[in-house]
Amino acid sequence: MVAIRLQDIRKSYGPVEVIKGVSFEAEQGEFVVFVGPSGCGKSTILRMIAGLEKPDSGEIYFGDDRYTDVPPGKREIGMVFQSYALYPHMSVADNMTVSLRLAGVPKTDRRKRAVEVARMLKLDELLDRKPAELSGGQRQRVAIGRAIVRDPKAFLFDEPLSNLDAALRVETRLEISRLHQQINTTMIYVTHDQTEAMTMADRIVLLDAGQVVQQGTPLELYRNPANLFVATFLGSPKMNVLDVAAVSRDGTTAQLTMAGASHVSVTLPSPETADPKSIGVRPEDTRIVPEGEGVLSGTIISAEHLGSEVLVHTETAAGQIIAKMPPDFSAHAGDTVWVGFNVARAHLFDADGLTINNHARQ
C-alpha cells in the first residue's frame, strides 16, 4: 500500500526553482532516506510533505487521499526539525508532550509517556530542564523524543542525528531502526551520513538540484549507480574515477587504457554500446600491491589511519587514487607504490557520465 505519494511537485523561492518536478512514493511502513548535496532541496521536500510549505504545483497523496491542501496539524505527522525547534519556555517533558496536551491527554499520563520516551533517549535526568540548559546533542534528542511521543502515522526526520556523538549516533540510529520495525510506520529521513543512509534505508532517494537522480535499495544504488554523480556521491571515501580510452574493441570486449597504465579488459553489454570514457573503482576495490602487480604506479601522498583501516592516498599519472587497506598496512608518504584494481567490480561510464553495464561484474 502506498502511504505517501508525491506527484510532480515543484517549488520556487522567488525566481529560483528549488524543487523541479519531484515524484516519488513511499510504501506503508517503508523507511525512505533522502540524500543529496547540501542545498539540493531535501528539507524543502520534507516540509512540503508535512504541509508546512505549499508546493507551487503537483499533488501530495496520503494513501488514496489527496492531502495537498490538508493543514499540517491534520496530517498526523511527527517531524524532527533540522533546527530542533524546541519550545524554549517549556521543560523537556513539556516539549515532548505538547501534542498530547493539545489532544487533551491528562497531565499524569503525559508525564508517564515523557518518562518512557526520555529513558529511551537517555534524557531521563533532564526532563525538567529548559532547552537553553541543554547541549546541542541533548536538544536534538529532545526533538526526536517529541516526534516519537505522539505515535504519528509517518515520521519525517531532518538530519536528526547530525549533532550527536558517534556512539550515541549509532545507538539512536539502531533505536530508530528498532522503532521502525516495532511500529512499522512510514519514515522519511533526510541525512548527510552515508552510514545512516546505507543502514537504515529500505530505499534511498538521491536528489540533486531539486530532482530525483536515482532511487532504490541502498545496495542497488551502491552497486549499480545510474551515473557518475550517484557513483561518486555514495560511498566514503568516494569512488576513484579515471579517464579511459578504448584502445581496441572487439564486439563486447574492450581494452581500455588510461594515462600511465597498462591495459584493462572489460566486457560491454552489447556491441552497440559506446566506448567507456571513464572507469570508477571504489577504494575497497583498490589495492596497493607489490611492484609490477598493479595497473598503475603512483606516489603515496598521505595515509589516513582510521584504526580499523588505512586510507592510502596516491598520486598517479591518471589522477588521485584512494585505496582502503587493512589497519596494519604500513605506508609512508613519498613511497612509490603500485595500485591494483578489482576490475570485476569496476564501473564504466560513457561520455555523458551514464553508467555502462560492466558485464565482467557479478
Partner 1 sequence: MLRDWRFWFFLPTLLALGIVVLFPTGYLLWMSLAHWIITEPGVYFDGLANFRTLFRSASFYDSARVTALYLFFSTVIMMVFAMLMALALQHSRSGILRSAIVLPLVIPPVVAGFTWRFLLNGEIGFLGAWLFPMVGLDVNMLSNPSGALVSVIIADVWSRTPFMFLIFLAALQGIPRDYYEAVRLDGATAVQEFFTVTLPLMRSAVAVALLFRVVDAINTFELIYVMTKGGPGRATQTLSLLGWKTAFQNYDLGGAAALGVVMLVVTTISAGIMFARFMRKA
Partner 2 sequence: MSGYAGQSIWKSLGRAAFLSVAVSFVLFPILWLALGSVKTRNGALAVPPEFIFQPDFTAYTRIFTQGFLGSFQTSLTIALTNVVLTMVLGVPAAYALTRMTGKVQENLSFWLLSVRMAPLFAVIIPLYVLFRGIGLLDTPIAVALAHLTLTLPMAIWMLVTYFRSIPIDLDQAALLDGATRLQVLWIVILPIARPMLASVGIIVFIFSWNEFLLAFILTSRDAQTVPVAVASMAGTMSFDWPLIAAVSIVSMIPALLFVGVAQRHIVSGLGAGAVK
What residue ranges bind a copy of itself (CB under 8 A)? 35-39, 43, 82, 134-138, 159, 162-170, 192-195, 198-199, 218-219, 222-223, 232-238, 282-284, 304-309, 311, 324, 327
Which of 259, 272, 264, 361 has the alpha carbon at shortest distance from 319? Answer: 259
Amino acid at 146: R
Give min distance, CB of 165 to partner 2, in A: 16
Considering only residues 26, 91, 126, 131, which one is a binding residue for partner 2 as defined by CB under 8 A? 131
The C-alpha cell of 189 is what?
Answer: 529521513
Q: Can you say whether the dihedral through the CA atoms of 213, 4, 152, 178 is positive or negative? A: negative
In this structure, how many other beta carbons lie within 10 angstroms of the beta carbon of residue 186? Answer: 24
Q: Decide: is 278 part of the binding site for Mg ion (CB under 5 A).
A: no
> Is residue 63 close enough to count as binding partner 2 by CB under 8 A?
no
Q: Is 278 in the site for ligand ATP (CB under 6 A)?
A: no
Which stretch in 31-39, 82-90, 197-205, 310-318 sits in contact with partner 2 by CB under 8 A?
Answer: 82-90
Q: Quick one: which segment of 106-114, 135-143, 144-152, 324-332 binds ligand ATP (CB under 6 A)?
A: 135-143
Contacts of 155 (CB under 8 A, 6+ apart): 77, 78, 79, 80, 147, 185, 186, 187, 188, 189
- Give the span between the Cα atoms of 273 and 254, in whole angstroms: 10
Q: Which does 203 bind (CB under 5 to 8 A by kind): a copy of itself, ligand ATP, partner 2, none?
A: none
Binding status of residue 52 toward partner 2 by CB under 8 A: yes
Question: Least distance (Å) from a copy of itself to the CB of residue 155?
Answer: 20
Closest separation in Å from C-beta 46 to ligand ATP:
8
Under rule CB under 5 A, residue 316 binds Mg ion: no
Min dist. Cβ of residue 129 to ligand ATP (A) = 8
C-alpha cell at 92: 523537556
Rounded to whole angstroms, the Cα distance separating 117 from 80 reads 15
Residue 76 interacts with, from ligand ATP, Mg ion, partner 1, none (CB under 5-8 Å by kind): partner 1
CB 112 within 8 A of CB 79: no
**Nearest to Mg ion of 43, 138 (CB atom):** 43
Instruction: Find the helix packing angle between 136-149 and 166-183, rounded to 10°.
Output: 0
Q: Which of 17, 25, 27, 53 binds partner 2 (CB under 8 A)?
A: 53
The residue type at 175: E
Contact 355, 347 (CB under 8 A): yes
Cα diameter, the chain: 77
Coil vs helix vs strand at 66: strand
If binding is defined by CB under 8 A, does position 42 make contact with partner 2?
no
- Considering the rule CB under 8 A, would residue 163 count as an interface residue with partner 2? yes
φ, ψ of residue 266 in degrees (nearest 5): -130, 160
Q: Count CA atoms within 13 Å of residue 22 on its CB side.
A: 35
CA–CA distance, 38 with 208 (Å, rounded to integer): 9
Nearest CB to ligand ATP, comparing residues 55 and 298:
55
Q: How far is the CB of 155 from partner 1 (least distance, A)?
A: 11
103 part of the interface to partner 2, by CB under 8 A: yes
**CB of 198: closest distance to a copy of itself in angstroms?**
5
Q: Contacts with ligand ATP in 6-45 (CB under 6 A)?
A: 13, 18, 36, 38-44
List residues near ligand ATP by CB under 6 A.
Answer: 13, 18, 36, 38-44, 82, 133-137
